[in-house]
Structure 1
């Protein structure tokens, strides 16, 4: 997503800008494709005879997609940041307001109005409207921007942590991450308490939507991104020397998460139960996210793939922010078209559905970016891109 792109070219004054890392942009594009896959998979699950293997492709293989955004966001933030210099808070927060908060508010308002008109529900009450904005519930993909804003808000905490972080500290943080996420996701007493709260309880939404703003769910992958950015030269040596091991462990981690999913199916759970259990916050999911972050950064840094793919990866990365924000719109109308025509979403149709959503989202992003060159307010409010000022 482009929010991470802004971080990759950190705006605070620096002595000398470091070389651009194409890996950050390419990972954004790959991850955006994965997020769309997850949401298309949710549509495919409406078919009671859905193929569990195709569900695994849509919903399990792509599970690194959301947390890896936190990895590259932190990497972009810390890559050109002097962590020993005073933190330029005013510049930092003004930039985040422009690149993330304003687009978040604009897209939230758009979806609230659009869905209210489409489904005939009208506009929410002021109190409910405030809740939608606070928790990122105006549309199902917007919660990511809320938790990202919380990470930004806590930047004065992350800088000294990254400055003092060691490999041993990262290992301890990984253990904490596994334990905390397991408790949040699978603790029966805790979740029983949450779901048992009265619907009118003020505490219930704060616990029900904890994934939308509790940064502790992704603190390891975020600080890992920051740590590796600060130690970029050592990270490059590590990737070069351990490329084979990184690749092998990536496939092992993928097999572990897929194996967990299939074991749940073998135990009698439905595919829906399976994907709601074998997710990115499960121990296998955290391992998969870690290895996916290292794997994609490695292959995109040392380019062990055909160079002809780079223009495609660049296009996907460049327009990932807008595509991420707009794709639910195309999912909605394509799904309504299928429903109106009485077409069941079979496996083949689901794959075509995915391709259509991805293509339409990219085309919309390209069109709006070009329109935004003539009408800058369009780019400013939708993706936080502002005209370059002459120095």
Structure 2
């Protein structure tokens, strides 16, 4: 039986680009986290680091773009129920978030011999999304869901000029949050036992202000889907050029930090990230580019099948991949091998394949035991 949901518009045509971008984003996030392992090698190659850490910088914010696009694409802005919306989203995000948080806390306690957190500390871990380094994304997504009435009002009212104004505010806010010396001095001057300190230290984990523009842009384009499709068709060359130029500018900033500025690779990737002005431009251009090529370019069937598999299993793969990174890193450490460039590439392929394969196996098991899919990825068996 289909749920009677007033928030939904009449079913619109499926957009494969949404699923394909999810898969590409998941691959990029794994690249960033593998890059964090690779950069521990004192002789790490700066160009390979750029591939892992700079080229992939669109990966996290583009998830917000696609999430908003999917939400607004099938949402009736004039007749939707906030309570029904939250009920559905709690099932798809909050429950898996809690399950995976507990899993990683228990698993890491067992693997590394650390104590489980106290109840109060456990609540703090859940609030900030730090049970594992990838889970903060779900915390931010939950905050976006809680504030959905605000986004609906904004999407309904905004025009192109207001979008540009919002982009300007986004650039200024992200620059302040990322690079303000007074802010950083204030945060690091707080005592370690200060209750205020974690609220600033982990601000990237729950301040939705860091990603408002890309989220609202996704929703706005979904509502104006016909105009967006026309733009993609007419301006495909411009969209493609924008993607490569923005990528080149972010890479140039990275190499500038390494060269004239004398930054280490770690310092450079922590500066040339998705919240710096070049990173924001790259995210926007990448969102438009991937949506365009996955909508209007023709691909062989085998590639479509591969993109479908990656997209279908991206959620579970995103949530589980730190497990494989951790175990493979332990294997390397115990064997005495440094993560050279060749090993890093093989490491990435292994993590990706293991994560997607495990996701596919668990999804299949969830078809037999529906609680598995419900708890891990928020997918529920449909009543006939």
TM-score, with length taken from structure 1: 0.96
Measured against aligned partners, the alpha-carbon deviations of 1:302-352 in whole angstroms (never above 9, x if no partner) come to 024444311000000000000000000000000000000001100000000
Q: What does residue 16 of structure 1 align with?
A: 10
Distance (Å, rounded) in 2 between the aligned partners of 1:349 and 1:71 = 33
Q: Are the counterparts in 2 of residues 12 and 92 from structure 1 also a CA contact under 8 Å? A: no
Change (3 A) 1:218 1:273: same
Q: What does residue 222 of structure 1 align with?
A: 215
Distance (Å, rounded) in 2 between the aligned partners of 1:160 and 1:299 = 30
Q: Are the counterparts in 1 of residues 9 and 74 from structure 2 also a CA contact under 8 Å? A: no
Q: Are the counterparts in 1 of residues 316 and 377 from structure 2 also a CA contact under 8 Å? A: yes
1:380 is the counterpart of 2:384: no
Change (3 A) 1:242 1:108: same
1:185 is the counterpart of 2:178: yes
Selected match of 2:143 from 150, 168, 177: 150
Measured against aligned partners, the alpha-carbon deviations of 1:103-136 in whole angstroms (never above 9, x if no partner) come to 0000000000000111111211111111110000
Q: What does residue 366 of structure 1 align with?
A: 360
Distance (Å, rounded) in 2 between the aligned partners of 1:260 and 1:277 = 9
**2:270 counterpart SS class:** helix
1:105 is the counterpart of 2:98: yes
Q: Shift of the alpha carbon at 1:91?
A: 1.2
Q: Are the counterparts in 1 of residues 274 and 280 from structure 2 also a CA contact under 8 Å? A: yes
Change (3 A) 1:352 1:15: closer
Distance (Å, rounded) in 2 between the aligned partners of 1:361 and 1:287 = 30
Segments of structure 2 that go 5 or more residues without pairing to the other structure are none
Distance (Å, rounded) in 1 between the aligned partners of 2:8 and 2:248 = 42
1:310 is the counterpart of 2:307: no
Distance (Å, rounded) in 2 between the aligned partners of 1:314 and 1:11 = 27
Selected match of 1:129 from 122, 134, 143: 122
Q: What does residue 56 of structure 1 align with?
A: 50
Distance (Å, rounded) in 2 between the aligned partners of 1:316 and 1:18 = 23
Distance (Å, rounded) in 2 between the aligned partners of 1:356 and 1:83 = 43
Moved over 6 A (4+): none
Distance (Å, rounded) in 1 between the aligned partners of 2:69 and 2:4 = 10
- Residue pairs, 1:293-332, within 5 angstroms: 293-332=287-326
Q: What does residue 6 of structure 1 align with?
A: none
Q: Shift of the alpha carbon at 1:84?
A: 1.9
Q: Shift of the alpha carbon at 1:15?
A: 5.0
Distance (Å, rounded) in 1 between the aligned partners of 2:184 and 2:32 = 24
**2:116 counterpart SS class:** coil
Segments of structure 1 that go 5 or more residues without pairing to the other structure are 1-8
Q: Are the counterparts in 2 of residues 113 and 122 from structure 1 also a CA contact under 8 Å? A: no
**1:277 counterpart SS class:** coil
Measured against aligned partners, the alpha-carbon deviations of 1:176-223 in whole angstroms (never above 9, x if no partner) come to 010000000000011110111111111100011000110000000000
Change (3 A) 1:274 1:345: same
1:40 is the counterpart of 2:34: yes
Distance (Å, rounded) in 1 between the aligned partners of 2:227 and 2:175 = 31
Distance (Å, rounded) in 2 between the aligned partners of 1:143 and 1:323 = 15
Q: Are the counterparts in 1 of residues 272 and 279 from structure 2 also a CA contact under 8 Å? A: yes
TM-score, with length taken from structure 2: 0.98
Q: Are the counterparts in 2 of residues 10 and 76 from structure 1 also a CA contact under 8 Å? A: no
Q: What does residue 243 of structure 2 align with?
A: 250
Count of residues paired in the alignment: 381
Kindly report the root-mean-square deviation, in angstroms, between the aligned alpha carbons of the 2 structures. Answer: 1.2
